[in-house]
Amino acid sequence: MTPGAARAQDPVDWTPATLARLEVWVARAREDALPVLDTGPLQKAQARGDAHAVSQAATALALDLARMQLLGAAGAGQRAGWHIVDTDGAVDLHERLARAVSLDVLDSFFSGLQPHSDQYAALRRAYASEADPERRLTLARNMERWRWMPQSLGSDYVLVNAAAFEAELWRQDRREGTWPVIVGKRSTPTPVFSARITGVILNPWWVVPASIVREKHGVFPARLGYVRSGGQVRQKPGPGNALGEMKLDMPNSFSVYIHDTPSKDLFAKDVRAFSHGCIRIGDALGFAAKVLGGEHDREKVDTIVAKQETTRLTLEKALPVYITYFTAGTDAEGRLRFYPDLYKRDRRTGDPNSGGNACNG
């Protein structure tokens, strides 16, 4: 038996008052688009008057509910393709539960496990009043996705929502700006993952991925700035470069980056799915200046770009970036929005009310 499993067997001193609050929270699960758990084992233990069995059943029930609140109800199949590590999995829920029961603060225990994002709170409010079954299911699925995210994203971070074609920069828990983005085509979807932005590269070279070399049958004209060296095809810096004039340095296993583009006209489209998976961002140099902060304002960024020399500017502190996929949420004005399920991922998420196993719609 592992240490964690052993701790889970330690008795928790439940009282009639805390048992009553547990039953209330179990019944409230539907408010968070979660399945209502079976209270039968607890009720049978109570009917027998077996204090030890009551403690075991109540603890198991509370921990099951806590895990759903904190980590989500979906199984591995429903989470397939979601590569953002949820650090909340390291939380010792048994210890927290035992303390909450002993102090009679079970309400704070369960409410504190819900996602801290304002987006989740808005989805939850909308879910409570939504009558349309399909919209209600979409809200439930996106509430579930927020449970897959870390409760704390950090005070400063970049969040990209591929379904909304938008990127946000947050500083000190405040949205500092929103930028339009172009994401992957349906055939080359942008993956869901997290990384850390360590710097900004101005006037970048573009190393053409092997898949694109094959797609283009190796035709890359020198007049467009392409050069071949070391078995690679690269494109020289410049406004016509496929990466534009800026690329974020954000190492990740998917080789997906946020960068500029020479095809500025595509930002006028409502559905912006044109890339091979990378994220092209509007007003890229303005975005870069905001990410850099400090002494590198927009004027200094423009001065560096004008020199047409590849320059890497290092961030004083690495900035988390989350590449996400939410098909419902609120915009910068707080209005509820539903976004197209570009990559047909909603069906895979299933219905959280049934534990994430039913794939509807």
Task: Please determine, for residue 151, whether its predicted confidence score (pLDDT) is greater than 80.
Answer: yes
Q: What is the dihedral of CA 273, 277, 281, 282, to 10 degrees?
A: -30
pLDDT band at 358 (very low <50, low <70, confident <90, very high): very low
Average pLDDT value for residue range 41-49? 97
Average pLDDT score over residue span 91-100: 97
Mean pLDDT value of segment 127-140: 97
pLDDT for 305? 96
pLDDT at 76 over 80: yes
Contact 334, 122 (CB under 8 A): yes
Query: Which residues lie closer than 8 Å to 121 by C-beta, 6 or more apart?
Result: none
- Looking at residue 350, its pLDDT comes to 86
CA distances (Å), origin 136, targets 25, 123, 128, 191: 21, 10, 9, 25
Cα–Cα distance, 51 to 199 (Å, whole number): 58
User: Residue 353: is its pLDDT beyond 90?
Assistant: no
Please provide the size of the chain in residues.
361
pLDDT of 8 > 60? The answer is: no
Instruction: Kindly list the distances between the CA atom of residue 61 and the CA atoms of 25, 292, 316, in Å, as whole numbers in the listed order.
Output: 11, 47, 46
Q: Which among 23, 130, 126, 26 has a CA at the least distance from the CA of 68?
A: 26
pLDDT band, very low/low/confident/very high, at 355 (cuts 50, 70, 90): low
Region 35-56: mean pLDDT is 96
| Predicted pLDDT at 359 | 31
- The percent of residues above 90 in pLDDT, for the chain, comes to 89
Task: Please report, for the chain, how many H helices and E strands are present, in that order.
Answer: 13, 15
Is pLDDT of 326 > 80? yes
Q: At what angle do helices 93-103 and 51-71 cross, to 10 degrees?
A: 120
pLDDT at position 32 is 97
| The pLDDT value given to residue 9 | 55
Q: Is the pLDDT of residue 354 over 80?
A: no
> What's the mean pLDDT in 150-173?
97
Is this structure's pTM higher than 0.85?
yes
Residue 3 has pLDDT above 90, yes or no: no
Check whether 5 has a pLDDT greater than 50. Answer: no
Question: Can you give the pLDDT at residue 357?
Answer: 44
Do 323 and 110 touch, CB atoms closer than 8 A?
A: no
CA gap 246, 260 in Å, rounded: 5
Query: What pLDDT, on the 0 to 100 scale, is given for residue 10?
Result: 75
Long-range contacts of 48-57 (CB under 8 A, 24+ apart): 52/11, 54/14, 54/19, 55/11, 55/12, 55/13, 55/14, 56/9, 56/11
Once rounded to an integer, what is the mean pLDDT over residues 200-224? 92
In three-state form (DSSP H/G/I as H, E/B as E, the rest C), the secondary structure along 295-341 is: CCCHHHHHHHHHCCCCEEEEEEEEEEEEEECCCEEECCCCCEEECCC
d(CA 54, CA 12): 10
Token pair for 215: 């797609």
> What angle (nearest 5°) sits at the alpha carbon of residue 112, between those of residues 108 and 116?
145
- Rounded Cα distance between 334 and 20, Å, is 36
Q: Which is it for strands 174-184 and 273-275: parallel, antiparallel or unpaired?
A: parallel
Task: Give the per-residue pLDDT at 114.
Answer: 96
Whether 14 and 21 have beta carbons less than 8 Å apart is answered as no
β-pairing verdict for 328-330 and 336-338 = antiparallel
pLDDT in tens, 298-317: 999 999 999 999 999 999 99
Mean of all residue pLDDT scores within the chain: 93
pLDDT band at 148 (very low <50, low <70, confident <90, very high): very high
